[in-house]
Amino acid sequence: MSAPAPYLASVPRRIGAAAIDLAPVLLLFIVAQGVVDQFRLEPPATPLAAFLVFVIYHATFQFKWSGETPGCRFLGIRVVSHGEAPDLSLVQCIARPCVKLTWLAAFFPVVMVFGAFWLVIVPAFVDLIMMSSLPSRQTVADLLCRTFVVRTPPLQPHRAPAAPMFSASDSEFGLRPRRVKCEALTPTQVGPNHAFERTRRQQASFGGFVLLSQCLLSPRHWRAAQRSR
C-alpha cells in the first residue's frame, strides 16, 4: 500500500478541526432548539434543526473561506475539490456536510430497533479506518463529493530576486525598451521625451555653428578650439 501524499491533512488534524467546529455547532443548535420550543413545533423539528445547523455552518464557511471552517483554519487544513479547480463549488459545499451527517446518523434506525447503542459509532469508526488506511485519506463523504482534505501551506515572506529578472513578454514589468526610428513615429507618438531630445540636438547644432563662426572670424578662437581637442 502506497504512503499518503505529504500535502494531505493528517488524521489528528482532521479530528481536532472537527472537535473545534463542534463547539459553535452545539451553540447554534441550542439557539435553534430555543426557537423550536418557543413556537412549540412538532418533535421532528428538533432533528431537522440539528441537520440544518450542521449543514448551514459548514457550507457557509467552506464556501466563503475557500474550503475552510474555523477549526480547519486554526489547524491549517482545508477541503479542496478533486477537479481541475481546487476551490469547492457551491454544490460540493452543501453536499459534503449533508452526506457526512447522513452517514454518521445512518445507524440510528438500527439502534432504535435493536437497542444496540454501540452501533452508533460504526460510521465514525469506518471513516477513521479509511482516513488511516487509504492513500488519499478520504472518508465516505470525500469519496462521494470528490474532495480531499489538505494542509494549508504557511505564509511565506516576500523575497525579491537576487538579480533582475526580465523577459520580452513579461506582463509585470512591460516590454523591453527598444530604440525606434524617428521616421516611424506618428504625431500622436511624439511625447515629451522626443521633444526634449529634439531640443537638445537643436541646441548642439546651434552651439557648433557659433563656434565655427568664431573660429573663422578670430584666429584666437581657432587656436583655443585646437587646444581643447
- Name the residue ranges covered by the structural domains of the chain: 11-151, 197-229
Cβ count within 10 A of residue 58: 23
Q: Residue 42 has what pLDDT?
A: 79
Q: How far is CA 83 from CA 59, 88, 90, 199, in A?
A: 18, 9, 14, 61
Q: In the structure grid, which three cell numbers stand for residue 224, read together?
A: 583655443
- Flag whether pLDDT at 217 surpasses 80: no
What is the band of 164 on the pLDDT scale with cuts at 50, 70, 90? low
Give me the helices (H) in the chain, please: 11-39, 45-64, 70-75, 90-104, 108-114, 122-133, 140-145, 192-217, 219-228
What is the band of 208 on the pLDDT scale with cuts at 50, 70, 90? low
Nearest Cα residue to 78 out of 1, 6, 160, 149: 149
Mean pLDDT, residues 136-140: 93
- Flag whether pLDDT at 44 surpasses 70: yes
- Flag whether pLDDT at 213 surpasses 90: no
Q: Residue 110 has what pLDDT?
A: 78
Over the Cα atoms of the chain, what is R_g? 37
- Flag whether pLDDT at 27 surpasses 90: yes
Nearest Cα residue to 9 out of 84, 74, 54, 99: 74
More confident: 202 or 99: 99
Q: Residue 209 has what pLDDT?
A: 53
The string of pLDDT tens digits covering residues 55-89 is 999 999 999 999 999 999 999 999 999 877 888 99
The mean of the pLDDT values for the chain is 78
Nearest Cα residue to 7 out of 148, 156, 155, 157: 148
Mean pLDDT, residues 170-192: 53
> For 118, which DSSP code?
G
Q: In the structure grid, which three cell numbers stand for residue 151, read together?
A: 494542509
The string of pLDDT tens digits covering residues 80-135 is 998 778 889 999 999 999 999 999 988 888 777 777 778 888 999 999 999 999 99
Q: Residue 196 has what pLDDT?
A: 47
Q: Residue 29 has what pLDDT?
A: 93
More confident: 3 or 52: 52
More confident: 165 or 12: 12
Query: 92 — phi, psi (to 5°)?
Result: -65, -40
What is the band of 161 on the pLDDT scale with cuts at 50, 70, 90? low
Q: Residue 109 has what pLDDT?
A: 82
Specify the length of the chain in residues: 229
Q: Residue 72 has what pLDDT?
A: 95
